[in-house]
Amino acid sequence: MQIEFKANKRQLQGTGASRRLRNAGRVPGILYGGAQAAQPLDLDHNEVFQNLRKEASHSSVLDIDVEGAKEQCLLRDVQWHPFKLQVLHIDFQRVDASHKLHQKVPLHFVNAELSPGVKLQGGIVSQIMTELDVSCLPQDLPSFIEVDLSEAATGNSVHVSQIKFPPGVTPVLHRGEDPVVAAIFCERLARQLGVGLARESRFHGLAGHARAENLWLLLPQTFMNRSGQAVGALARFYRIAPAEMLVVHDELDIPSGQLRLKFGGGLGGHNGLKDITAHLGTQDYWRLRIGIGHPGDRNDVVNYVLRPPRREEAAEIDAALERALAAWPQLGRADFDAAMQRLNARPATLPPSTSDLAPKP
């Protein structure tokens, strides 16, 4: 459905003229871009308000009728009254059918309820990004992009590179960037402690407080390599010392399904830990590392961490999370020596099958 705005050319400009327009139920605006001069506009407020309620109006190519002359444009900016449901000003930019444009498009997450991480493993979906900047010709601009979560497992992330884009549409990213758009986080500890996790914009993530343990849980909603922004904000606000923190993260250099608990030490090239260390000003904090294994070739690392683990690896990682939860009584009371003995031990392996024990012919 094509969305159309109707506008008149605005002759008078200035603060007083704009105030009179608003009092008369009109909205001052402007249409700019292309080879033509910018054209001041005035539009009917009710029509503008109703059109802005449609998600597609913020990410689609629009039609604008200026006293009978129709042009195609994009909505570039809307100024709202601080507390009234009133549009104060609106900006449109002309588009050229032969030139590519950049536009933010909303992401629609589907099939989360069918994903193994939610359905079988008790996780929740955390939407880190809700829109994405794309580049395309005007006729190819989608009103939204669908992100399928049906195969997402606990501990996995869905990256921009895994999204299926419509023909002619490409994401606008910095060189080498592949941000996470959704992650399945294990909510079991929060459930075990009876803690509800809620979005806290001041901490850039989902946070919850276990009052009985005087414990804060934080799931950063930033890019992984900006995790310190969230951790640092919480630590500064509640004056939490770095030595009182436990950071849980994945680790390439540990075999899949194994755990390692340690205090301080090197960062191992982990960009998330680097950012946390930069915001805390020290490396001296506790870390629980969850092994995901290494592909063997450093050139394969990026593809390895972006794709979902194999079924047997996912089972090993899930079992490791269960062992970590079982050790929470020691972790929660800061008995780290006992927790290290329990977590750093290699998990028991399955006994060989009877066919393996049978004598060879």
pLDDT digits (tens, 9 = 90+) for 165-206: 999 999 987 655 555 554 544 467 887 888 887 878 899 888
pLDDT (0 to 100) of residue 280: 95
Number of domains in the chain: 3
Which of 95, 121, 152 marks a domain boundary?
95
169 shares its domain with 305? no
Q: Does residue 164 have a pLDDT over 50?
A: yes
Q: Does residue 14 have a pLDDT over 70?
A: yes
CATH code of residue 40: 2.40.240.10
197 shares its domain with 341? yes
pLDDT digits (tens, 9 = 90+) for 94-105: 999 899 998 989
**Is residue 80 very low, low, confident or very high in pLDDT (cuts 50, 70, 90)?**
very high
101 shares its domain with 91? no
**Is residue 249 very low, low, confident or very high in pLDDT (cuts 50, 70, 90)?**
confident
- Helical pair 271-280 and 227-238, crossing angle rounded to 10 deg: 30
270 shares its domain with 285? yes
37 shares its domain with 123? no
Which of 137, 158, 184 marks a domain boundary?
184
Which residue range forms the structural domain that includes residue 155? 97-184
Query: Looking at the chain, how many residues does it have?
Result: 361
Tokens (6 digits) for 352 = 């060989």
Rounded Cα gap, residues 129 and 259, in angstroms: 30
Residue 359 lies in a domain: no
Rounded Cα gap, residues 133 and 76, in angstroms: 13
pLDDT digits (tens, 9 = 90+) for 113-127: 888 877 776 666 766
139 shares its domain with 199? no
Residue 101 lies in a domain: yes
341 shares its domain with 239? yes
Which of 184, 214, 230 marks a domain boundary?
184
